[in-house]
Chain A
Amino acid sequence: DQQVKQNSPSLSVQEGRISILNCDYTNSMFDYFLWYKKYPAEGPTFLISISSIKDKNEDGRFTVFLNKSAKHLSLHIVPSQPGDSAVYFCAAQADPYQFYFGTGTSLTVIP
């Protein structure tokens, strides 16, 4: 039972444009959400997170939006750079400290 879903396995974007990665979840008990970036042959690295009490969190070029009523979150990358090409995983946390991951979206930024 996949509680966190990333329905787009891949996404291609031109350099300088916006990348929007989407994530849906089913469990209304999730109270914290995270995005991780993974390069091939490396472990995932933490990117940005958001608490369920917020609807937006920004960190430089990265912004995460949370729509609790729709059980949907998205990661915006502006402007996209070739170095952003990686697999992005969405994750959700439920008590106590249990983390659930999506299947990932492979982002390719075209120079």
Chain B
Amino acid sequence: EAGVTQSPTHLIKTRGQQATLRCSPISGHTSVYWYQQALGLGLQFLLWYDEGEERNRGNFPPRFSGRQFPNYSSELNVNALELEDSALYLCACRVSGNTIYFGEGSWLTVV
């Protein structure tokens, strides 16, 4: 069984551009969580999707948005990129009731 997969592994964008990151949860599981890990910081909760709906979002500006598709894969969009958006973006999937499993992450660099 494949784990959580994320793409791209690395992405370099210019300030003001838009970035799109993708995530596929573990097959058969419907929930997707997005977290940001900026340099020197912990895992900051961004968004949670389940069954195609946004269930909760963290304390991030509206230019961070996303969606979940019918096949439960998910997309995170960051508009009007700022330098401080440079971070590792992690996607996770809840498999058993109380545990989430992470993908390898997507590194976003804004220059």
Contact = CB atoms under 8 A, between A and B. Distances in A.
Interface of A: 6, 32, 34, 36, 41-46, 49, 51, 89, 91, 93, 96-104
Nearest to A93: B98
Contacts, number: 56
Nearest to B31: A97
Interface residues of B, number: 27
B101 A46 contact: yes
22 contacts: A6-B42, A36-B102, A42-B104, A42-B105, A43-B6, A43-B90, A43-B102, A43-B104, A43-B105, A46-B101, A49-B98, A49-B99, A93-B98, A96-B55, A98-B48, A98-B56, A100-B45, A101-B43, A101-B45, A103-B42, A104-B42, A104-B43
